[in-house]
Structure 1
Amino acid sequence: MDHYRKHTSCQCGFSRSLRSGCLISPHAEHWNFRVDSLALDCGDTCHGWKVPHNPAGGELMALDGLKKPRHLLILFRGILAGLMFAGLLWYGSSHEATVSELTKVIASTSVFIIVAAEILDKIAGREDYAKVYGWAYGKLSGGKGGTLTAIFSVLLISAVIFAVSLYFIAGSITFSLNSYSPATLLWAGLVATYITLPETGDNELLLWIWLGATIATKGQYLSSALTIPALTRLAGILLKL
């Protein structure tokens, strides 16, 4: 904290990455400014952001005077997740994925995959996500972007999180069940969308859904759900040698 630079009329502190430029992180309900060992005076700018004269609210004002509150980030991520849910449900209905098949896939999913998905969700829901958003905003706008660039940055990063989660979850579930079906992709997509959703890191909803599916199937698939997919497949290969 000793490298924070304070001035008589404003606080310009936090940390600057010389390679990625100014980072933006959540402070109270607005974005806070980060600079590193570089003292900025009130009114100075960095990548399109102005150091405020009144830092009490922890705000940063864009050059056009537009505030960047954190709740907009949550809203845009929620809208994107809603569109993802709509697409997944359309896929499920068009491929005739039944509730029975979906329940079987959920109950058969390894609990270790569920735990891994919950960990990914907590990582995606952390405030560090805001740093990624700030980095994307700076790269896309060159410091001069407005609201549309901010929206696009949020949607882009959220889509990347969804794609990575979908790839990981779909591959793991298919590997675990040793089979693929529309219900498998539907469940993997739902898990990936759940990870993308904002403000879900404090709730273990996937674990409760898996538990509900296990109870509904009367524990019929519990033996496969309690195995580690990679170790099980490896043991099977070794036994065949």
Structure 2
Amino acid sequence: MKTSFLRRSMEATALATGLAAGTMIAAPAHAQFGGIVYDPTNYASNVLQAARALQQINNQITQIQNQATSLINEAKNLASLPVSTLSTLQSQVDQTRQLLNDAQRIAYDVQSIQSAFEGRYKGAALTGDDHAQMVANANARWEDSVGALEDALRVQAGVVGNLDGARTSIDTLVGASQSASGALQATQAGNQLLALQSQQLADLTAALAAQGRAQALDAARAAAIEAEGRARFRRFRGKN
């Protein structure tokens, strides 16, 4: 529409200029019609001025249209992404964190681990003379291992449960990114995809931590059984 309008304006300008030139050549310098003096030179000058004015108006219209297009593009670039998955991601992170906080017996805490190991995994807990206490410590170590294995399975189940939500978020964000109308929307979609990746890495870290905890406690229990067996054997030989 814009091109058609400019073409018509240029044709009108050319026609007006041609008419003015033709009038200046064909008509006499002055003519009188019904008492009105007709000056072709003055008429042609007026036509040229009108043509120039029309051309200036066309140029101004073009500038306004360009400015409007630029403003529309800027508005698109500043438009926010209409979808957000951040609340879902935060909920999944909180769920995984809660699973870790619910760890049974020996928590993910340095002081808690140190206290548990001092009480039933080394030292007097393995070599003492109190038979009943040694049996209690052995049972406690077994419960530590079983609880840690259960915790690892729960964390892994939670991580697997988050996969469906992650898949839905990826589909939503990729679709929003591909249909983004401006730079801001594309950037926001990319940032949310990065947040989703961070959440998945956090889930993976939690699963590995839970599994490592279970393996470490089971290995510690096996080492404690071996140490306790040696202590029992030494006492047995001493009595003989």
**TM-score in terms of structure 1 length:** 0.26
Larger Rg: 2
**TM-score in terms of structure 2 length:** 0.26
